[in-house]
Every structure is written in C-alpha cells, then in structure tokens.
C-alpha cells in the first residue's frame, strides 16, 4: 500500500487540466492498443467512500478508449445466492483477452460497506479477508493484471458533495438516505478500510491511495499511475509541468459567473465555491 500524488497537480486549473488530460488520455489509448494486440487482460478497481469520484474518474479515463475492448462493471445489491458465493460473483466479470474492465466498486465492497453496514456476517467478512489475496493470485496466474485504486476524501469534502447532490437539478438522483447512513458510520468505515489496506495489499496487487478531494487531480493521478505501471510501445508520458503560483492563469465559475485571470491564491480560495 502506498500513496500516489504528483505535487505539481496541486496547482492545476481547469484549462491546464484539460491540456494535461488530453495528453494522458492519448497515452492510455496506446496502452489499450497494447492490451488488444498482446491479448492482455486488465482489471482496474476503483474503491472509496460515497462521493469520492469513482464513477467520474472511470468516465474520464475511459472516454476515448475503443468501446469494443473496454467494459464497466458496477454491480448492485447481491442476491442471497451471490452473497454466499462472493468471489464467483465477480470472477465471471473478469476481462477477456484484449480487454480492459473497470470495476466501479468491486469485490472489496465486502471489506468496506458490507461489513460496516452489517450487510454480511462476521464469518463472511473473515472468510473474505483470509482468502482474497489467494484468489487474486490465482487470477494473476491466469494472466489478469489487477490495479487497485482507493480514492480518499475528507469528511468535510464528502459533506459538501452530498449537499451539491441533494440540491442539483441534474444529479439529485445520485443522493439517497442510505448514503447518509453509511456516512454516519465514518469511524467504523475507517477502521475496516485500514484493515483492508494492511491485510489485502500484496506485491502483485498493492493498494494505491489517491487524494480525491479535488476531482481533477484525482483523475490525473489515477491515469498517470496506471500508465506508469505498464511498458507499452511508444510510451511517452509527459512530465508534469511546474505551474507558477505567481501567474494570473486561473479561472473559476461560480453560479454561472466566470472569474478569470486569477492568481493561484485567489483561485484556491474561490474554487471551493465553484460549480464544477
């Protein structure tokens, strides 16, 4: 387990983000072509609390990939049968040859939300924690590459995002009362999260923790981390630029009003109120 954080991205603004993202997305397409041509199998797991940006990050990463060779897996509430056969539930969704599969929440739901909310039994939880690495090692021997990303958010960030969801005419449907029930168990979730990191991170399939308090930064770091893990043809990941605090190059939109030519310090203050 380790944290991945490109320091230069802390100074990025939306315009610079779009330029940087375009370069990294082009690299990701190179990686996908390598997966296709070499008949690789790549499973990318995104875990994190509600509002951490899992769905959004996957959308950003997969936007320009060849659709026939990429798949999203986002499973709902398990049946009683699926709950008893937890690993089988996910094994059938593993990537085929030449395919990338994104898991928006994964088998690790059992180690996080399920045990926190008591949706599974203590016995089921312990069985999972004891056997998950052996199961993953078997998948890896079957030529499946597994990338495990945990998007980390602060408590106040989650609260602000819940409020935005509730009050938005476009994404209000993302908010549910159950979200608040899980959020109320913040400390219990944290306990099980730490247990997951300490028990289920291996050399072959480590957990990487990415700060997701700023969604733009989380997407860039996630993308760059995946690219750095693999050696694909014509690999040329751009070095992150050192953006200056002193330059008036930052913009932000608040309630439909765009504020332009801001310094970094001005942007940092105003960005928490932005529409994005």
What was the pLDDT predicted at 46? Answer: 98
Domain enclosing residue 118, as ranges? 2-243
CB of 224 closer than 8 Å to CB of 243: no
Do 232 and 261 belong together in one domain? no
CB of 106 closer than 8 Å to CB of 182: no
Do 264 and 208 belong together in one domain? no
168-196 pLDDT tens trace? 777 777 777 777 888 899 999 999 999 99
CB of 65 closer than 8 Å to CB of 99: no
What was the pLDDT predicted at 176? Answer: 78
Do 235 and 102 belong together in one domain? yes
Confidence at 65, pLDDT banded by 50, 70, 90: very high
Do 253 and 230 belong together in one domain? no
112-147 pLDDT tens trace? 999 999 999 999 999 999 999 999 999 999 999 999
Do 170 and 102 belong together in one domain? yes
Do 231 and 260 belong together in one domain? no
Do 264 and 236 belong together in one domain? no
**What is the percentage of the chain residues whose pLDDT exceeds 70?**
95
What is the pTM (predicted TM-score) of this model? Answer: 0.87
Q: What does the mean pLDDT of the chain come to?
A: 91
CATH number for the domain spanning 165: value is 3.40.50.300
Do 142 and 113 belong together in one domain? yes
Do 273 and 166 belong together in one domain? no
Q: How far apart are CA 275 and CA 257, in angstroms?
A: 9
What was the pLDDT predicted at 241? Answer: 78
Do 152 and 274 belong together in one domain? no
Q: How far apart are CA 178 and CA 51, in angstroms?
A: 13
Do 210 and 258 belong together in one domain? no
Do 84 and 27 belong together in one domain? yes
Domain count for the chain: 2
5-39 pLDDT tens trace? 988 888 888 888 999 999 999 999 999 999 999 99
């Amino acid at each position: 387990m380790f944290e991945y954080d490109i320091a230069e991205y802390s100074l990025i603004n939306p315009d610079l983000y779009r330029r940087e993202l375009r370069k990294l997305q082009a690299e990701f397409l190179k990686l996908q072509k390598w997966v296709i041509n070499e008949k690789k199998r790549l499973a990318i797991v995104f875990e994190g609390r509600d509002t951490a940006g899992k769905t959004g990050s996957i959308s950003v990463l997969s936007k320009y990939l060849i659709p026939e060779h990429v798949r999203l897996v986002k499973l709902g509430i398990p049946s009683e049968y699926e709950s008893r056969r937890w690993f089988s539930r996910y094994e059938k969704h593993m990537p085929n040859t030449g395919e990338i599969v994104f898991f928006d929440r994964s088998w690790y739901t059992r180690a996080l939300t399920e045990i926190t909310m008591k949706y599974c039994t203590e016995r089921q939880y312990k069985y999972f924690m004891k056997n998950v690495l052996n199961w993953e090692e078997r998948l890896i021997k079957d030529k499946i590459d597994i990338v495990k990303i945990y998007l980390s958010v602060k408590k106040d960030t989650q609260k602000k995002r819940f409020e935005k969801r509730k009050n938005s005419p476009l994404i209000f449907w993302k908010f549910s009362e159950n979200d608040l029930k899980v959020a109320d168990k913040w400390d219990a979730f944290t306990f099980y999260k730490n247990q997951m990191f300490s028990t289920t991170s291996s050399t072959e399939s480590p957990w990487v923790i990415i700060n997701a308090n700023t969604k733009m930064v989380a997407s860039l770091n996630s993308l760059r981390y995946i690219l750095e893990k693999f050696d694909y043809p014509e690999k040329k990941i751009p070095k992150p630029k050192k953006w200056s605090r002193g330059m008036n190059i930052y913009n932000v939109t608040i309630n439909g009003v765009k504020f332009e030519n801001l310094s970094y310090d001005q942007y940092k203050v105003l960005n928490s109120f932005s529409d994005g």
